[in-house]
């Protein structure tokens, strides 16, 4: 795992977005198309802002998946990750070859199966991810399932995860945060050729320290990124503030 530190979230996002664009162009040049995973949430604002600015990407050759969605949450809700991607990404780039959004309003078992079949046919070239305050990767809260081979799974959100969603302003109270979600599994994320992990903000400092410095454990889900051969973590001064080494 490569660690890169920047002075600000904006600089972090610029570097992560540029590197994501580079991998997308390389995949298109080599394979004629690129399959990508996008994350959502506040940590991805600057990275996505840079990615949509990037030139010389033939978006008509890009297939997009995303990490997770709340079960039972309408797409019209401000916290919906489908809404997030539609407004912050899909509406700002030319039409993609395909965009497979997680539908949390349908039967979750059927939806997991549908998405699993789709992503199995699209080996992922680059995945953009973040790390939660509780160290989760996608919505794989601790103790995360490191063993399932299923690409998408149904998960229960722990209290710290739900408090983070409220604290970021997506919900007025913790009672309003759904208790279950559909999430991409840890193994599926690790199948990506490249992983770009954007983690700004002091709120993530403990999670970053555990991700980088603890032994790999499902109690620190994002620590599994240590095992990936081409994962880069983009940190700012605040999120990297507790690391033992510069």
Separation CA 97–CA 127 (nearest Å): 17
pLDDT band per the 50, 70, 90 thresholds, residue 246: low
Domain ranges of the chain: 2-236
Q: What is the mean pLDDT of the chain?
A: 97
Q: For residue 59, give the 3-state DSSP assignment.
A: helix
Separation CA 85–CA 9 (nearest Å): 20
Phi and psi at 128, nearest 5°, equal -100, 125
Separation CA 44–CA 32 (nearest Å): 27
- CA dist list (Å): 154 to 15, 82, 103, 195, 222: 33, 17, 12, 23, 18
**Segment 187-198 mean pLDDT:** 98
Separation CA 170–CA 205 (nearest Å): 21
Angle between helix 45-53 and 9-31 (nearest 10): 50
Separation CA 152–CA 162 (nearest Å): 20
pLDDT band per the 50, 70, 90 thresholds, residue 20: very high
pLDDT band per the 50, 70, 90 thresholds, residue 164: very high
- Return the percentage of the chain with pLDDT > 70, whole number: 100
| DSSP one-letter code for 44 | G
Separation CA 48–CA 31 (nearest Å): 23
**Segment 40-44 mean pLDDT:** 93
Separation CA 62–CA 58 (nearest Å): 7
pLDDT of residue 245: 76
The answer to whether the CB of 234 falls within 8 A of the CB of 3 is no
Helix ranges, 121-158 (H): none
Neighbours of 94 (CB within 10 A): 10
**pTM assigned to the model:** 0.96
Helix ranges, 57-185 (H): 81-88, 108-120, 159-167
pLDDT of residue 12: 98
The answer to whether the CB of 47 falls within 8 A of the CB of 233 is no
Q: Indicate whether 204 pLDDT > 90.
A: yes
pLDDT of residue 136: 97
Neighbours of 219 (CB within 10 A): 14
Label the pairing between strands 194-199 and 231-236: parallel
Q: What digits encode the pLDDT tens for the residues 72-105?
A: 999 999 999 999 999 999 999 999 999 999 999 9
Q: For residue 127, give the 3-state DSSP assignment.
A: strand
Class of CATH domain 2-236? alpha beta
């Amino acid at each position: 795992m490569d660690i890169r530190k920047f002075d600000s979230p904006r600089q972090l996002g610029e570097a992560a977005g540029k590197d994501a664009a580079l991998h997308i162009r390389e995949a298109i040049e080599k394979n004629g198309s690129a399959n990508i995973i996008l994350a959502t949430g506040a940590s991805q604002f600057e990275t996505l802002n840079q990615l949509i600015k990037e030139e010389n990407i033939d978006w008509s050759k890009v297939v997009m998946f995303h990490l997770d969605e709340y079960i039972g949450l309408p797409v019209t809700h401000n916290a919906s990750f489908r809404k997030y991607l539609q407004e912050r990404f899909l509406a700002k780039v030319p039409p993609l070859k395909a965009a497979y959004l997680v539908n949390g309003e349908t039967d979750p078992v059927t939806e997991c199966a549908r998405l699993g079949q789709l992503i199995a046919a699209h080996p992922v070239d680059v995945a953009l991810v973040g790390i939660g305050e509780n160290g989760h990767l996608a919505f794989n809260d601790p103790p995360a399932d490191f063993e399932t081979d299923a690409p998408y799974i149904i998960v229960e959100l722990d209290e710290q995860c739900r408090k983070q969603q409220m604290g970021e302003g997506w919900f007025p109270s913790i009672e309003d945060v759904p208790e279950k979600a559909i999430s991409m599994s840890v193994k599926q994320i690790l199948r990506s050729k490249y992983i770009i992990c954007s983690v700004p903000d002091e709120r993530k400092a403990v999670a970053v320290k555990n991700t980088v410095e603890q032994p790999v454990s499902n109690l620190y889900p994002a620590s599994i990124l240590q095992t990936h051969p081409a994962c880069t973590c983009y940190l700012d001064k605040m999120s990297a503030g507790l690391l033992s080494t510069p």
